[in-house]
Structure 1
């Protein structure tokens, strides 16, 4: 997994967090960090028993979004604001969060089958 893997949410990322154990650990707030440490250590025990590093990477992957939110609290504030707006009946928030037209499932199926036919030479 590349260290520079990031997701750029609608609200932007001020602080990048690499998808590594040390980066995730450093970005988490103290309460969440203790939980991450426990899961990470359990994964390390699994590695010691099974010789399978995937368990450690899975913990890092699972905790990375929380680390990004801890490092960039404005993202969560934006999400919370949008939730409040939606709850209050302001559906204009959806105009700002979608960047592609919604496709009906049957249209998506037709497009997919057409593209697959092109790939396979049909």
Structure 2
């Protein structure tokens, strides 16, 4: 058995498409800022770094109930409740 999670391509467009609607504006603003920085510095590292930070969020958003489970896990952790903040889907 292996854990199964829907895979989002690690591209700016794929990550944006996978995000929940309420996160897209924040993502777009960060992407625009990273590109502005790249224009000035001729360095794409900030854009790549930003994509690396958002890609796991996109992975969670494409899982049914994934974002809600992670948010509940965060609330539980802050409240001192031990445990895994989400259920893993397994394929056979």
* 1:47 correspondence with 2:52: no
Which structure's residues are more often strand, by fraction? 2
| Structure number with bigger Rg | 1
Are 1:18 and 2:9 an aligned pair? Answer: yes
CA RMSD of aligned residues (A): 2.9
Task: Report the alpha carbon displacement of residue 29 of structure 1 after superposing the two structures with TM.
Answer: 1.1
Aligned positions, number: 79
Q: How does 1:1-80 map onto structure 2 within 5 Å?
A: 10=3, 12-13=4-5, 15-76=6-67, 80=72
Which segments of 5 or more consecutive residues in structure 2 lack a partner in the other structure?
A: none
Gaps spanning 5+ residues in structure 1: where? 1-7, 98-122
* TM-score, L = length of structure 2: 0.69
User: Any idea what the Cα deviations from partners look like across 1:21-45, whole Å, max 9, x if unmatched?
Assistant: 0110100111100000000000000
Q: Which runs of 4+ in 1 moved over 6 A?
A: none
